[in-house]
Amino acid sequence: MLLFVLSWALLAQDLDVVLNGRSRPGTTILDQIENPQERQAFLDLYREADPIARRTKATQFLRLYPTSWLLAQVTEAAARASFDLGDSTTGLSYARQSLELYPENPLLLATVAAVRANRREPVEAQHQARATLEALGKFQPPANMTDREWQPVQQRLRSTALRVLGETAVSSPIALRPPDQKSAYAGSDSCRPCHAALFASWSQTGMAKMLRPADPAAVMADFTKLGTFSEFGQLVAKGFAKDGRLFVDLKRARPGPAMTTWDRYPIDYFIGSKWQQAYATKAPDGDLHVIPLQYNRLEKSWLNYWRKIDPPGSERVDVGEFHRLRDVTSYQQNCAPCHTSQLQPKGFLEAGVNCEMCHGPSAEHARGAAPAFKFQQADNRRYVQVCAQCHAQSAIRTPQGFPPQYQRRPYAEFSRKAFYRDGRFRETTFIVEAFERSQCFQQGTASCGSCHDPHPSNAASNPTSLKYLDQPDRMCTQCHDARYSARSHTQHTAPEASRCVSCHMPKIMNSLLFKARTHQIDDRPNAEMTLRFGAVESPNACLDCHPTQNAAWLRDQLKARWAKAASPSRSTPPAPR
């Protein structure tokens, strides 16, 4: 019962913010449940101690609210109640449903490992035990527990997993590295003499241009058209160029009924260079503040970025309040960890994502020593760890040395808008988290570098830095047998429909104003999930290409396909090499 209660951390963290040790979830998932009867039914279940009554209430909840945001918690409750009643078969069925929605739950993983071990199912038990240890090493304690409360629970979970594995010791959870001194870094210019070609190609990438001093020649937007931007029927901004500099005037919120005040801000820095560009101004104290109005190249229009990504009630969406230059608009606090290099208490050593953000402090290497970190010698987990310092929304960015080993905020504590109802990640800020769920990462050797080149020679025409831009299937066939890309497997003739990524990496992740491919790269069309939650909350690669069809049609098509594939007259599909 103790673990059952502790596993429900129902606080929720907003998205698109830089997480640090102080930023804890501020709302609750229950706040996002609109139906009051659904909320009350969950609370009744949550408070129930008797396992028979608890399982009954759980099954009733699932019958009444089959598409609830709380399905992972409710099926976990049903699983634990079943285990308490000695019904391991039913418990494992409910546990499978819960872990399908939230597979990183160490409290349930450890319980399932113990149950399967008792059932003499060693392969499954050890798989769950290893997943338990990985989650315990990666994630912070639940938000509803202090470190002191979490320690004995964590130790019980770890001991359970170790007993299942037949081991007595395991590596410790992530520990912070001491921050490197400024003198340990040489700056990207020091790389140019020996790595001229790589330096030149990196200089043209989006990473190099994450932040750069304002240059009218590199501006993406037409500032003269900013004067047409309005909100709620009111013009709120003007833009212009003067003496080689760019300026923005923002209309201040009215202090009185007949007063209008405009504040002028010089544009000192550009942020971004591919799909969107933001603009920062330097405050009198030297801090940079990000103007809420940004330009989107795809839409060819200005937009209020904060209003687009923030939840209702956000302090920074109001253009008329920008003049207050508060923490919520501070570049240093909200953007700098991923848009600049070698962050300092005030400022940074270099604008943009430089060489040493990925390759580590290199002052000694520039003087002739061997490099401190080599991607060629790193396994896939250590490789992805470097990329995750910016591409994992859940990473808690605390000052430390290289490579940073950031702990994660438990995924269950994020706002529901981070996920689809079927459990998959919805937002591209969770792109590493999605990738780490892939079997290619978990059981294989796939890393970000398997498909991406961070400094390609064709950056202008290859904004996603793909290794094989014109031959996308090569990214899969470098590990999987080439027959997987043949028509016998894809059962499609059209080039795009027969691509590996079309089925296994559908464009379902939100990237502001466009859809990006999911990086849970073994994703497969799941008709049952789409039937349950609908195409909006469980998008499906097949229905993306066949929009006039429905989930019932998809189910029949997939059944026919699997029956055909299982026919004895057909050879067994080749396994990954």
Reading the block at residue 144, the tokens are 């509803």
Helix (H, G, I), strand (E, B) or coil at 255: coil
What pLDDT sits at residue 429?
93
Q: Which of 29, 117, 113 lies closest to 74 in space, CA to CA?
A: 29
Cβ(207)–Cβ(280) below 8 Å: no
* 162-203 pLDDT, tens digit each: 999 998 766 566 677 889 999 999 999 999 999 999 999 999
Is the pLDDT confidence value at 255 over 80?
A: no
Mean of all residue pLDDT scores within the chain? 89
Is the pLDDT confidence value at 97 over 90?
A: yes
DSSP code for 69: T
Query: In 203-251, which ranges are E strands?
Result: 211-213, 230-231, 234-235, 237-242, 245-251
Residue with tokens 């792109």: 431
What pLDDT sits at residue 483?
79
Q: Which of 511, 548, 508 lies closest to 524 in space, CA to CA?
A: 508
Containing 350, the helix (H) or strand (E) segment is: strand 348-351
Q: Which of 141, 140, 82, 71 lies closest to 112 in space, CA to CA?
A: 82
Confidence bin at 26 (pLDDT 50/70/90): low
Is the pLDDT confidence value at 161 over 60?
A: yes
Return the bridge partners of 514, or none: 511
User: Rounded to an integer, what distance in angstroms lies between the CA atom of residue 477 and that of residue 484?
Assistant: 8
Mean pLDDT, rounded, for 266-285: 95
* 416-442 pLDDT, tens digit each: 889 999 999 999 999 999 999 999 999
Lowest mean pLDDT of 86-90, 232-236, 408-412, name the range. 232-236
Q: Which amino acid appears at position 44 of this protein?
A: D
The gap from C-alpha 316 to its chain's centroid, in whole angstroms, comes to: 23
User: Rounded to an integer, what distance in angstroms lies between the CA atom of residue 116 and that of residue 125?
Assistant: 5
What pLDDT sits at residue 172?
62
What pLDDT sits at residue 577?
44
User: Rounded to an integer, what distance in angstroms lies between the CA atom of residue 497 and that of residue 251?
Assistant: 49
Is the pLDDT confidence value at 572 over 80?
A: no
Cβ(413)–Cβ(399) below 8 Å: no
Is the pLDDT confidence value at 408 over 90?
A: yes
Is the pLDDT confidence value at 1 over 50?
A: no
Which residues, in sequence order, are CB contacts of 22 under 8 Å at separation 6+? none
Q: Which amino acid appears at position 447 of this protein?
A: S
Number of helices (H), then strands (E), belonging to the chain: the values are 23, 17
Helix segments in 85-167, DSSP class H: 88-101, 106-118, 122-138, 147-165
First-last CA distance in the chain: 44
* 446-466 pLDDT, tens digit each: 999 999 999 999 999 999 999
What pLDDT sits at residue 284?
93
Containing 289, the helix (H) or strand (E) segment is: strand 288-290
Is the pLDDT confidence value at 567 over 70?
A: no
* Domain layout of the chain by residue ranges: 2-165, 209-338, 415-565
Q: Which of 530, 141, 84 lies closest to 95 in space, CA to CA?
A: 84
Using CA atoms of 20, 25, 26, 28 in order, give the dihedral in degrees to the nearest 10. Answer: 170
What pLDDT sits at residue 257?
61
User: Rounded to an integer, what distance in angstroms lies between the CA atom of residue 354 and that of residue 62?
Assistant: 50
Lowest mean pLDDT of 16-20, 78-82, 129-133, 566-570, name the range. 566-570
Q: Which of 292, 281, 294, 296 lies closest to 319 in space, CA to CA?
A: 292
What pLDDT sits at residue 2?
43
Q: Categorise residue 327: left if φ over 0, alpha if ψ from -120 to 50, beta otherwise.
A: alpha
What pLDDT sits at residue 518?
96
Q: Which of 294, 296, 286, 293 lies closest to 330 in space, CA to CA?
A: 286
* 330-387 pLDDT, tens digit each: 999 889 999 999 998 888 999 999 999 999 999 999 999 999 899 999 999 999 999 9
Q: Phi and psi (nearest 5°) for 134?
A: -65, -45
Which residues, in sequence order, are CB contacts of 432 under 8 Å at separation 6+? 384, 387, 388, 391, 392, 448, 519
Q: Phi and psi (nearest 5°) for 473?
A: -65, -20
Which residues, in sequence order, are CB contacts of 546 under 8 Å at separation 6+? 553, 554
Confidence bin at 409 (pLDDT 50/70/90): very high
CATH 1.25.40.10 fits 2-165, yes or no: yes
DSSP code for 238: E
* 298-331 pLDDT, tens digit each: 889 999 998 888 877 788 999 999 999 999 999 9
